[in-house]
Amino acid sequence: MSTIPPSLLLSAPSGVLQVSPLEAPSPLPIRFSLIIPTYNERQNIEAMVAHLSQLLDPVLPGEYELIIVDDDSPDRTWEVAQTLLVAFPQLRVMRRQQERGLSTAVVRGWQAAQGEILGVMDGDLQHPPEVLLQLLAAMERGADLAIASRHVKRGGVSRWSLLRRLLSRGAQVVGLLLLPGVVGRVSDPMSGYFLVSRAAIAERELQPTGYKILIEVLGRGQIQEIAEVGYVFLERREGESKVTGRQYLDYLHHLLRLRLTHGRGGRFRELIPLKQFLRFGLVGLSGVVVDMVVLYLLHDASTLGLGLTRSKILAAEVAIINNFFWNDAWTFADVAQQQRGGVARFRRFLKFNAVCLVGLVLNVLLLNLLFNQLQLHYLLANLIAIAVVTLWNFWVNLKLSWRVTAVKSSTHNGS
């Protein structure tokens, strides 16, 4: 086996996780550096490298590098990668033996990279390589960050279990609640497939934990222009996912650390936009009137005299429809105008309804608690329950149902 030029075997940087700005232009200008973090991917790595080289050779001949960062995989992925170095001159391999973890592997790769555009994608072919060309095109058009997203047009996941979908979306909601100003900027903050300009993250100490390197880039980088491209997250053909419960704990820890050290999202006025809250409250009041009138018409002895809980649920649903209509037309009109069409509006209604239904459950629980345990008059109990749930409804709907990401629509793929 011919000897491998040492320049292709990258030594793992140590110390703070900080990407340096580009020195003077190097003799062999590399425009794009793509990091592929690997752990036990020996069955996938050759196909990955071959596919990517085939794709990038025509568009960036000699101006890109693929950097595999392997954490000393027990299946010796690093060894297989090294055997590919001769055949693929743009390939570099870093074998980390002191550190472990997806996000830090990516940052170490960026630290060793030479490109102006830095990227990351998984090493198991679940991220379709073709999408890279659209991401690169968006960077060439001036984006600071180009993200492959599962949650925009033409985006999705192939055969994910309902549990995995709920966990992924649940994680996103937690991120929206804890760090709205960061996580709320993009449609798929959990994406592990994106490109970022070196200038946007250079000389900023990164402190990621676990898997979510994109959230770290959004939280600490100088990111103005964001582009998103829809893609379908494919099924794994070889090997298995390394995601365990630990990743979810790491994620929470990561969010809290960003929140504490960063404070973005802590400023009250950003948390509670007062004008919208007042409008939401007024609309909520109109909903209370609708709720009360319908509750009276359904429950009171002098009217239909139906059971309290059943009447309450029906009354609340009518009020939800009323509130959605006014919130979409008035409170969040600016957002609604950016998401035109019946389908988009129906999606907002479904989200609004889902959030309010959770609120309704809270409402009924609270109503019965106050009525049965504290013996309050049922109308007073109802009023208190509605007030508490209004806060919940406003907060979550602002972050979920009427949410605009910081992405300009013109950058969506092909639409």
List interacting residues with ligand GDD (CB under 6 A).
37-39, 41, 69-71, 100-102, 105, 122-124, 126, 190-192, 211, 233, 241-243
Based on CB atoms, which residue is closest to ligand GDD, 172 or 397?
172
With vertex at residue 175, the alpha carbon angle to CA 270 and CA 361, rounded to the nearest 5 degrees, is: 90
Say which entry of ligand GDD, Mn ion, none residue 246 contacts (CB below 5 to 8 A, set by partner kind): none
Residue nearest to ligand GDD (CB): 192
Contacting positions for Mn ion (CB under 5 A): 122, 124, 126
Based on CB atoms, which residue is closest to ligand GDD, 142 or 170?
170
**The tokens of 141 are what?**
């058009």
The Cα 251–Cα 246 span in angstroms is: 9
Based on CB atoms, which residue is closest to Mn ion, 13 or 123?
123
Based on CB atoms, which residue is closest to ligand GDD, 100 or 267?
100
Alpha-helical regions (H) of 86-189 = 102-112, 131-140, 162-178, 180-183
**115, 96 in Cβ contact below 8 A?**
no
> Crossing angle for the helix pair 342-368 and 308-326, nearest 10 degrees?
140
CA distances from 88 to 53, 76, 106 (A): 7, 19, 21
Say which entry of Mn ion, ligand GDD, none residue 69 contacts (CB below 5 to 8 A, set by partner kind): ligand GDD
**The tokens of 311 are what?**
């009447």
CA distances from 371 to 136, 297, 379, 383, 390 (A): 60, 20, 9, 11, 19
Say which entry of Mn ion, ligand GDD, none residue 316 contacts (CB below 5 to 8 A, set by partner kind): none
The Cα 341–Cα 267 span in angstroms is: 33
Based on CB atoms, which residue is closest to ligand GDD, 214 or 356?
214
Q: How far is the CB of 249 from ligand GDD (least distance, A)?
A: 15
Q: How far is the CB of 98 from ligand GDD (least distance, A)?
A: 12
The Cα 182–Cα 189 span in angstroms is: 9
Based on CB atoms, which residue is closest to ligand GDD, 43 or 368?
43
Based on CB atoms, which residue is closest to ligand GDD, 78 or 394?
78
Would you give the end-to-end CA distance of the chain in angstroms? Answer: 49
Say which entry of Mn ion, ligand GDD, none residue 402 contacts (CB below 5 to 8 A, set by partner kind): none
**Sequence-separated (6 or more) residues with CB below 8 Å from residue 161:** none
Q: How far is the CB of 363 from ligand GDD (least distance, A)?
A: 34
Q: How far is the CB of 39 from ligand GDD (least distance, A)?
A: 4
Q: How far is the CB of 124 from Mn ion (least distance, A)?
A: 4
Q: How far is the CB of 159 from ligand GDD (least distance, A)?
A: 13
**The tokens of 162 are what?**
């309902």
Say which entry of Mn ion, ligand GDD, none residue 90 contacts (CB below 5 to 8 A, set by partner kind): none
Q: How far is the CB of 116 from ligand GDD (least distance, A)?
A: 23
Say which entry of ligand GDD, Mn ion, none residue 381 contacts (CB below 5 to 8 A, set by partner kind): none
E strand or H helix at 346: helix 342-368
**Sequence-separated (6 or more) residues with CB below 8 Å from residue 239:** 40, 41, 43, 44, 124
CA distances from 330 to 24, 336, 346, 402, 407 (A): 54, 9, 16, 12, 23
The Cα 380–Cα 213 span in angstroms is: 48
The Cα 12–Cα 94 span in angstroms is: 6
Say which entry of Mn ion, ligand GDD, none residue 169 contacts (CB below 5 to 8 A, set by partner kind): none
**Sequence-separated (6 or more) residues with CB below 8 Å from residue 216:** 103, 206, 207, 208, 254, 258
DSSP letter assigned to residue 66: E
Q: How far is the CB of 122 from ligand GDD (least distance, A)?
A: 4
DSSP letter assigned to residue 407: B
Q: How far is the CB of 171 from Mn ion (least distance, A)?
A: 16
Based on CB atoms, which residue is closest to ligand GDD, 63 or 99?
99
Say which entry of Mn ion, ligand GDD, none residue 105 contacts (CB below 5 to 8 A, set by partner kind): ligand GDD
Q: How far is the CB of 95 from ligand GDD (least distance, A)?
A: 10
Based on CB atoms, which residue is closest to ligand GDD, 71 or 228?
71
Say which entry of ligand GDD, Mn ion, none residue 291 contacts (CB below 5 to 8 A, set by partner kind): none
Based on CB atoms, which residue is closest to ligand GDD, 134 or 276?
134
Say which entry of ligand GDD, Mn ion, none residue 100 contacts (CB below 5 to 8 A, set by partner kind): ligand GDD
